[in-house]
């Protein structure tokens, strides 16, 4: 099975433009940006609850502490919320009708119920298909997040921690080598 496609900035903008045309534009934008700006897995996004993201003062938390039940591998992890993602999540939160902590953060059409990992996977597939992004999947955001940071010189150990990987070799498989990386490496000589 081929790896999920790593998306360029232009392709991300295309996906966001398509998401903007849908009935749940704010939610879909927040989902896409959460994937690309945090590297969370689709199952982790589906498992988020309002209390995981929103603090008691209604601000976006600095980090999301995922429990073992919310992650892969039965090990909890912490997801750091950067400034860009905080802004995206704040815009989404402003559209929410309910702020009770036990509700899913990303609601499905039934509002009270959230996505399962499988239905969210399918949702991403539909969004990317509508955007004409062949090879893109729910894992594209995670791969793009890791590859983008690697392109900017972030070390593999830091990437490993951000991705929640136990093995460096797993993180290395996520990094998509591209012309930009190769040129930068050659120019170091």
The SS3 assignment for 146 reads: helix
Question: What is the model's pLDDT at position 118?
Answer: 94
37-83 per-position pLDDT tens digit: 999 999 999 999 999 999 988 899 999 999 999 998 778 899 999 99
Proportion of the chain above pLDDT 90, given as a percent: 64
C-alpha distances in Å from residue 151, one per residue of 7, 13, 160: 13, 19, 15
Residue 1 pLDDT level (bands cut at 50, 70, 90): low
130-183 per-position pLDDT tens digit: 999 999 999 999 999 999 999 888 999 999 999 888 888 888 888 877 777 778
167 and 131 in one domain?
no
User: Cα 105–173–135 angle (5° rounding)?
Assistant: 65
CATH number of the CATH domain containing 125: 1.10.443.10
101 and 165 in one domain?
no
Average pLDDT for 11-37: 96
165 and 82 in one domain?
no
Question: What is the model's pLDDT at position 7?
Answer: 94
Beta bridge partners of residue 49, listed in sequence order: 104
Average pLDDT for 80-93: 96
178-187 per-position pLDDT tens digit: 777 778 778 8
Give how many domains the chain has, as a whole number. 2
Quote the domain boundaries for residue 162: 142-187
116 and 162 in one domain?
no
Where helices occur in the chain by DSSP H, the ranges are 9-19, 25-38, 42-47, 50-53, 83-93, 117-130, 140-151, 156-163, 168-174, 179-187
Among 89, 85, 88, 80, smallest CA distance to 158 is for 80
Of 138, 159, 177, the one marking the end of a domain is 138
121 and 33 in one domain?
yes
Is 1 a member of any domain? no
Question: Is the pLDDT reported for residue 6 higher than 80?
Answer: yes
What does the alpha-carbon distance between residue 131 and residue 19 come to, in Å, rounded to a whole number?
9
Question: Is the pLDDT reported for residue 113 higher than 80?
Answer: no
46 and 95 in one domain?
yes
């Amino acid at each position: 099975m081929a790896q999920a496609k790593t998306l360029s900035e232009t392709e991300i903008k295309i996906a966001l433009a398509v998401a903007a045309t849908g009935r749940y534009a704010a939610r879909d934008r927040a989902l896409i940006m959460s994937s690309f700006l945090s590297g969370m897995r689709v199952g982790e996004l589906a498992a988020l609850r309002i209390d995981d993201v929103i603090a008691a003062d209604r601000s976006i938390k600095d980090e999301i502490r995922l429990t073992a039940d919310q992650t892969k591998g039965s090990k909890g992890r912490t997801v750091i919320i950067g400034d860009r993602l905080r802004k995206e999540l704040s815009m989404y939160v402003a559209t929410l009708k309910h702020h009770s902590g036990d509700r899913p953060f990303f609601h499905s059409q039934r509002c009270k119920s959230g996505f399962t990992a499988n239905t969210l996977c399918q949702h991403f597939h539909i969004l990317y298909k509508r955007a004409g992004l062949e090879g893109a999947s729910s894992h594209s955001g995670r791969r793009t997040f890791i590859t983008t940071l690697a392109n900017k010189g972030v070390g593999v150990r830091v990437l490993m921690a951000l991705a929640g990987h136990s093995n460096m070799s797993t993180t290395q498989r996520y990094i998509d080598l591209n012309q930009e990386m190769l040129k930068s490496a050659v120019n170091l000589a």
